[in-house]
Structure 1
Amino acid sequence: MAVKAKRPTDWRKRFDGAKPPKNVVLHTDFAGIKTGTTMHIASPGTIANFIARIPVGETCSIERMRNELARKHDAQAACPVTTAIYLKVVAEVALMDLAEGKVPSDVVPFWRVIAPDSKIAKRLSCDSQIIEHYRLLEQSSGG
C-alpha cells in the first residue's frame, strides 16, 4: 500500500479563507482560560494588522499581543490556540513574499512577535536565524 504524499500547505489560501474574527463565551475551561470568560478568536488579518503597527525595531510578546487583541475587541482573553495557528499563517505568507522578492518593509514583520527561540519559530519553514537576522537589521537601522 502506497503512502499518500502530503500536499504543501497553501498559506495564502489559509490566510484568505479563514473565518472572520469573533468573540465567544466559554462554556468549559479551554487552554488555561476559565469557563464564563469572553474569548476573542482573531483572524490572520487582525493578527497581520496588529503586527504591522508595531514600530520598526520593537518587539511584542505573543502574550502581550493576545492581551491587546482581547482588550481591543472587548473580550477578557484571546484564544491562544487560534492566535498561534494564525500567527504561523501570517509568518508563512510573509516568508513566501520574501522568497518571491518582496523587500522586508513590504511584508508583515512577523519577527517583531515571534522570538527566535520560541516554540512557534521552530515550526516555521525558515531557520530561527532568519528571525534573528530581521530583528538585528531593524535594530541597526535605528528603528
Structure 2
Amino acid sequence: MKDWNDRLNTSGINGIKPSPRTFSDVVEGQPMLVPTARQVDDFIRSIPEGIQMDVRALRTALALEHGAEVTCPVTIGYHLRTVSEAAHEALDRGAALADITPFWRVLSGRTPTTKKLSFGADFVAEQRNREGLQD
C-alpha cells in the first residue's frame, strides 16, 4: 500500500481542460486547472512564514500561475489532504518542521480537509498559533 509521500510523488493526469459542468465557483467550459499533488505542494511551499491563504485564494493563484481561470475544487481537496498527510508523515520520520510543507498556512480549523487529517486538527492549530495566523 502506498504511503502519503508515495501518493504525493505519483505522477497524475494534470493540465488545463474545459470544466465539464458548473459547480462550486466554476462555470461549465471555463479553462480549469487540474493540478497534481506535487504542484499543490510546491505552491504551498512558496507561501512565506506568517502568511496565510485560504483554499479559494490558493485555487485562484494556482490557476493563474498555470494559465487557467480556475482550479478544480474537487482535485484540490484531495491534494490538500495528500500534501498535509505526507508532510506530517515526513515529520514522524524525523524531518525538521522547517523542512516539511507548511500546509497549515492554507488549512485552518474551519477548512473541511482539516477534519479529515489522520493526526487531527490540534497540530494545525498549534502551527497556525506559532506563526500568528488567525483561524
**TM-score exceeds 0.5:** yes
Report whether the alignment pairs 1:125 with 2:108.
Answer: no
User: 1: CA distance between counterparts of 2:109 and 2:10?
Assistant: 28
Equivalent of residue 42 in structure 1, options 15, 28, 35: 35
Contact 2:8-2:38 at 8 Å conserved across structures = yes
- SS of equivalent to 1:139: coil
Larger Rg: 1
* Structure 1 partner of 2:106: 113
User: 1: CA distance between counterparts of 2:59 and 2:104?
Assistant: 16
Contact 2:5-2:89 at 8 Å conserved across structures = no
More deviation in 23-32 or 56-65? 23-32
Aligned pairs for 1:35-114 within 5 A: 35-114=28-107
* TM-score, normalised relative to structure 2: 0.90
Aligned pairs for 1:3-18 within 5 A: 10-18=3-11
What runs of 5+ residues in structure 1 fail to find an aligned partner? 1-6
User: 1: CA distance between counterparts of 2:43 and 2:3?
Assistant: 22
User: 2: CA distance between counterparts of 1:32 and 1:137?
Assistant: 32
- SS of equivalent to 2:94: coil
User: 2: CA distance between counterparts of 1:56 and 1:77?
Assistant: 25
- SS of equivalent to 2:131: helix
Q: CA deviation at 1:127?
A: 1.9
Contact 1:117-1:128 at 8 Å conserved across structures = no
C-alpha deviations, 1:90-136, integer Å up to 9, x for none?
Answer: 00000101111211100000000011232110000122111111112
* TM-score, normalised relative to structure 1: 0.85
C-alpha deviations, 1:2-54, integer Å up to 9, x for none?
Answer: xxxxx6x6212211214153000124334442221110011111111111111
Contact 1:21-1:43 at 8 Å conserved across structures = yes
The aligned length equals 133
* Structure 1 partner of 2:12: 19
Q: Identity over the aligned pairs, expressed in percent? A: 28
What runs of 5+ residues in structure 2 fail to find an aligned partner? none
User: 2: CA distance between counterparts of 1:119 and 1:55?
Assistant: 23
